[in-house]
């Protein structure tokens, strides 16, 4: 049945239902037919064989009756004969007594009744011949000679002659065909003949086999009747039994049909106590697990549908969900709105340094905070890994900037209040929709373009999309395509900028600064291509390449500048926090045989988004290698002083933006001076970057700072040997 269902599973509904009921019928019909066939064959065989046995037994019994009757007749003849000999009666009287006794009295028409006092069954009668074949006694032929009478089926067979012979030779049975008395029907006859010597008579008791076996025929009829009743009765019971026996199988079959239609119904257990119970239990268990499996699939499907439009982490709609919503608003006649984007800076670093759990926590908190803006047709969503978007309708033009700033500030606060203790930097970008024929995709592309511009400029104000941004972004995209090739084909090379002790005018160190002179794009500045290197996950490869390249230049640099020269290399925070970063540094030092205390690794403040413990662990490891760590761009972040208390760098580099202010801004200079004192007190080296003119130098010389790096002394320049073919040196500082 299972096979049948699997097959019909693919047929159309109507045909399948029809087939099911046909199979159902034919299955029962087959079983019942087999059952009835066996029943009828068995009872027929029993009936026919018992008929045969009975018939044979009755025929034997008949023959004995005939023989006994003849013996009785002979005894009667003897007794009457003796009476005649004794003279008590006449011979005629005696013979008439015998004939009357055996075949009844002579009637007026010269015939006798068939039956006398001895029972030879319905058509049987006595005959007496003399030895010449004259009938001494016969129901109808008395006095006639019948010696030549032949068998009615065999003209060669002389019945009477045979009987006379048999009798005279000691008696026995003879067989022939003869007409039934008072009828034209021919029947098989048996007779027993014996010789009575008294009056020299041949005495025959004859009967029709038919009479003897009549009872057997009755038995046959009875058996027939009983068989018929049996067939009907047992047939009825059997059919009912078969139906009840096949019921569970057929129930399972129809259950399976239900399953194919998505209905899971178990079968009542019933009172079965045999394999049927096992079958039903097994089926019900199967149905249960199928139902469970389907429930699971349904839940999973629902979940997948949910996930297709929503973000699990923040419980906000995702990009798809937002697209559906905004497109619907646009096609419903909305003719004014904004699409704003919030981009969390440094999320990657949080994931890498504090673990994804922390990153997820921050996103979750932001999501929770932004959910409250989902009202009045405004619609927040998480549209990228570190990016949220909000569709805003119900806000006037002059309110949009304050509103976005408020959203940013409040969400930053919310994250801090809820256990994440660093301030997040969040970029804001925006595009305006004023009823032109635009789709969500176009608007989204516009905000993304604005966001790219904001990120590239590290601009934390709100960046509104302008058409002119498109071209720049396209250029950047082209640049992205070339970057891969740039690293693999070594188009990027280090330039070196000297760090000078202005008190002695001696070059004490150089900072390696990457330069990309692309064969297709021309000169690309590092603050354009390095963010892309980070985004494209090429930073590890790039940093390893730069370290190797710079260290391989060490001997030439020493020759060019000074034997005591230190070499500074910029390390992206993502790389600094990477597993086995210190191992890589160690291997590079060993490879190029560099004195490790001449190597300084510059890391920017960005890295302090991570926890101090981890940074200190790496710094300690580097210190064990005698490699130094410098804090780059010092003074541009939020908490410079705070982290100076927590970590111990070897050097701090005051950012050029700071240096740029010391001439015009007394406060800035005061800060600069204070920083120098702090560094001195803590025992850190201090370098001022971006010193461009003598006035700046004069002012700096009033502080404790001695080492400066800037255009005043030199621009970043290549080692002559490292010039890329056909390119001009010094032109791209």
Residue number with CB closer to Ca ion (412 or 570) = 570
Examine residue 547 and tell whether it contacts ligand C2E (CB under 6 A): no
Q: Which residue has the tokens 């990657």?
A: 348
Among 187, 526, 596, 724, which residue interacts with ligand C2E (rule: CB under 6 A)?
Answer: 526
**Residue 640 beta carbon to ligand C2E: minimum distance, rounded to whole angstroms:** 15
517 burial (CB, 10 Å; 0-12 / 13-18 / 19+) is buried
Taking Cα atoms as reference points, which of 481, 476, 454 lies closest to residue 465? Answer: 454
Q: At what angle do helices 539-552 and 581-592 cross, to 10 degrees?
A: 20
Examine residue 606 and tell whether it contacts Ca ion (CB under 5 A): no
Among 167, 340, 530, 662, which residue interacts with ligand C2E (rule: CB under 6 A)?
Answer: 530
Residues 441-480 touching ligand C2E, rule: CB under 6 A, are none
Q: Which residue has the tokens 């980070």?
A: 534
- Find the part of the chain contacting Ca ion (CB under 5 A) among 53-61, 208-216, 267-275, 655-663: 655-663
Rounded to a whole number, what is the largest CA-CA distance in the chain? 197
Residue number with CB closer to ligand C2E (181 or 531) = 531
Q: How far apart are CA 28 and CA 490, in angstroms?
A: 84
Examine residue 632 and tell whether it contacts Ca ion (CB under 5 A): yes
Examine residue 531 and tell whether it contacts ligand C2E (CB under 6 A): no
- Find the part of the chain contacting ligand C2E (CB under 6 A) among 88-96, 253-261, 446-454, 506-514: 506-514
Residue number with CB closer to ligand C2E (568 or 703) = 568
Examine residue 716 and tell whether it contacts ligand C2E (CB under 6 A): yes
Q: For residue 666, give Cα distances in angstroms to 7, 669, 691, 708.
A: 92, 5, 17, 20
Residue 500 binds which one of ligand C2E, Ca ion, none, with CB within 5 to 8 A depending on kind?
none
Residues 363-422 touching Ca ion, rule: CB under 5 A, are none
Examine residue 514 and tell whether it contacts ligand C2E (CB under 6 A): yes
Structure tokens at 175: 């067989």
| Cα dihedral sign, 672-675-681-686 | negative
Instruction: Count CB neighbours of 535 within 10 A.
Output: 13
- Find the part of the chain contacting ligand C2E (CB under 6 A) among 165-173, 184-192, 413-421, 686-694: 686-694
Q: Which residue has the tokens 């760098």?
A: 649
* Residue 137: strand pairing partners: 128
608 burial (CB, 10 Å; 0-12 / 13-18 / 19+) is buried
Structure tokens at 178: 């003869």
- Find the part of the chain contacting ligand C2E (CB under 6 A) among 78-86, 285-293, 432-440, 707-715: 707-715
3-class SS of residue 673: helix
Taking Cα atoms as reference points, which of 107, 162, 164, 154 lies closest to residue 134? Answer: 164
Residue number with CB closer to ligand C2E (49 or 733) = 733
Residues 125-144 touching Ca ion, rule: CB under 5 A, are none
3-class SS of residue 11: coil
**Residue 386 beta carbon to ligand C2E: minimum distance, rounded to whole angstroms:** 20
| Cα dihedral sign, 209-211-213-214 | positive
- E strand map for 197-280: 201-208
Residue 514 binds which one of ligand C2E, Ca ion, none, with CB within 5 to 8 A depending on kind?
ligand C2E
**Residue 565 beta carbon to Ca ion: minimum distance, rounded to whole angstroms:** 16
**Residue 569 beta carbon to Ca ion: minimum distance, rounded to whole angstroms:** 9
Instruction: Count CB neighbours of 256 within 10 A.
Output: 21
Rg value, the chain, Cα: 63
* Residue 509: strand pairing partners: 499, 566
Structure tokens at 517: 């002179």
Per-residue x/- track, 557-596, ligand C2E (CB under 6 A)? -------------xxx------------------------
Examine residue 656 and tell whether it contacts ligand C2E (CB under 6 A): yes
Cα-flanking dihedrals φ and ψ of residue 494, to 5°? Answer: -85, 135
- Tell me the DSSP string of 85-98: HTTSS-HHHHHHHH
Examine residue 80 and tell whether it contacts Ca ion (CB under 5 A): no
Among 203, 204, 513, 618, which residue interacts with ligand C2E (rule: CB under 6 A)?
Answer: 513
DSSP state of 145: B
Examine residue 710 and tell whether it contacts ligand C2E (CB under 6 A): yes
Residues binding Ca ion: number (CB under 5 A) = 5
Residues binding ligand C2E: number (CB under 6 A) = 24
Per-residue x/- track, 309-348, ligand C2E (CB under 6 A)? ----------------------------------------
Residue number with CB closer to ligand C2E (476 or 689) = 689
Residue 135 binds which one of ligand C2E, Ca ion, none, with CB within 5 to 8 A depending on kind?
none
Examine residue 655 and tell whether it contacts Ca ion (CB under 5 A): yes
Examine residue 525 and tell whether it contacts ligand C2E (CB under 6 A): yes
Residues 594-653 touching ligand C2E, rule: CB under 6 A, are 632-633
Examine residue 633 and tell whether it contacts Ca ion (CB under 5 A): yes
| Residues comprising the chain, all counted | 733
Structure tokens at 650: 């070897």
Residue 449 binds which one of ligand C2E, Ca ion, none, with CB within 5 to 8 A depending on kind?
none
* Residue 630: strand pairing partners: 602, 651
Structure tokens at 565: 């020269």
Binding site for Ca ion (CB under 5 A): 570, 602, 632-633, 655
Binding site for ligand C2E (CB under 6 A): 497, 512-514, 525-527, 530, 546, 570-572, 632-633, 656, 689-692, 709-711, 716, 733
């Amino acid at each position: 049945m299972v096979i049948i269902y699997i097959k019909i599973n693919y047929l159309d509904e109507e045909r399948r239902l029809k087939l099911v009921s046909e199979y159902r019928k034919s299955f029962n019909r087959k079983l019942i037919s087999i059952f009835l066939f066996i029943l009828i064959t068995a009872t027929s065989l029993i009936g026919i064989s018992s008929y045969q046995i009975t018939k044979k037994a009755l025929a034997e019994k008949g023959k004995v009756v005939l023989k006994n009757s003849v013996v009785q007749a002979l005894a009667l003849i003897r007794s009457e004969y003796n009476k005649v000999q004794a003279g008590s009666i006449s011979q005629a009287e005696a013979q008439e007594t015998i004939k009357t006794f055996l075949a009844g009295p002579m009637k007026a028409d010269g015939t006798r009744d068939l039956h006398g006092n001895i029972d030879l069954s319905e058509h049987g009668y006595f005959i007496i011949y003399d030895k010449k074949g004259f009938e001494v006694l016969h129901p109808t032929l008395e006095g006639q000679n019948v010696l030549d009478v032949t068998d009615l089926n065999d003209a060669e067979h002389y019945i009477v002659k045979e009987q006379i012979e048999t009798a005279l030779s000691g008696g026995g049975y003879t067989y022939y065909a003869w007409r039934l008395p008072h009828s034209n029907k021919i029947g098989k006859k048996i007779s027993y003949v014996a010789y009575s010597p008294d009056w020299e008579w041949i005495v025959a008791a004859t009967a029709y086999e038919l009479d003897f076996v009549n009872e057997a025929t009755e038995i046959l009829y009875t058996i027939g009747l009983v068989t018929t009743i049996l067939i009907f009765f047992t047939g009825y019971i059997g059919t009912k039994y078969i139906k009840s026996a096949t019921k569970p199988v057929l129930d399972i079959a129809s259950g399976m049909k239900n399953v194919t239609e998505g209905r899971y119904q178990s079968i009542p257990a019933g009172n079965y106590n045999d394999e049927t119970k096992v079958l039903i239990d097994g089926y019900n268990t199967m149905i249960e697990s199928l139902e469970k499996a389907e429930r699971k699939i349904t839940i999973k499907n629902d979940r997948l549908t949910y996930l297709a439009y929503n973000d699990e982490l923040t419980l906000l709609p995702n990009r798809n969900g937002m697209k559906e919503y905004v497109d619907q608003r646009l096609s419903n006649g909305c003719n004014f709105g904004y699409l704003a984007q919030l981009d969390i800076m440094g999320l990657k670093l949080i994931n890498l340094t504090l673990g994804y759990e922390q990153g997820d926590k921050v996103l979750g908190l932001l999501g929770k905070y932004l959910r409250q803006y989902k009202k009045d047709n405004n619609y927040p969503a998480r549209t990228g890994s570190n990016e949220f978007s909000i569709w805003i309708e119900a806000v006037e033009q002059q309110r949009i900037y304050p509103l976005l700033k408020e959203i940013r500030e409040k969400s930053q606060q919310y994250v801090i209040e809820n256990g994440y203790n660093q301030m997040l930097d969040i970029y804001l970008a925006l595009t305006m929709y004023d009823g032109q024929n635009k789709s969500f995709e176009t608007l989204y592309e516009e905000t993304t373009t604005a966001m790219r511009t904001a990120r590239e400029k590290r601009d934390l104000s709100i960046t509104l999309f302008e058409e002119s941004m498109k071209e720049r972004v396209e250029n950047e995209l082209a640049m992205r395509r070339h970057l891969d090739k740039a690293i693999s084909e070594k188009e990027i090379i280090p330039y070196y900028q000297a760090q000078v002790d202005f008190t002695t005018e001696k070059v004490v160190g150089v900072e390696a600064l990457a330069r990309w002179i692309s064969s297709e794009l021309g000169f690309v500045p590092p603050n354009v291509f390095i963010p892309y290197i980070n985004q494209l996950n090429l930073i590890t490869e790039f940093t390893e390449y730069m370290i190797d390249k710079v260290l391989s230049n060490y001997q030439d640099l020493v020759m060019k500048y000074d034997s005591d020269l230190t070499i500074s290399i910029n390390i992206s925070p993502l790389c600094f926090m990477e597993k086995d970063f210190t191992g890589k540094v160690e291997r590079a030092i060993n490879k190029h045989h560099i004195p490790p205390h001449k190597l300084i690794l510059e890391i920017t403040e960005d890295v302090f988004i991570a926890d101090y413990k981890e940074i200190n662990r790496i710094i300690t490891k580097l210190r064990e290698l005698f490699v130094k760590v410098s804090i780059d761009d010092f003074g541009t972040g939020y908490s410079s002083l705070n982290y100076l208390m927590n970590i111990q760098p070897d050097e701090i580099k005051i950012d050029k933006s700071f240096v740029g202010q010391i001439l015009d801004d007394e406060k800035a200079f005061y800060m600069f001076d204070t920083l120098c004192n702090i560094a001195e007190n803590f025992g850190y080296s201090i370098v001022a970057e971006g010193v461009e003119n003598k006035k700046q130098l004069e002012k700096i010389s009033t502080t404790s700072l001695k080492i400066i790096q800037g255009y005043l002394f030199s621009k970043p320049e290549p080692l002559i040997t490292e010039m890329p073919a056909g390119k001009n040196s010094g032109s791209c500082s």
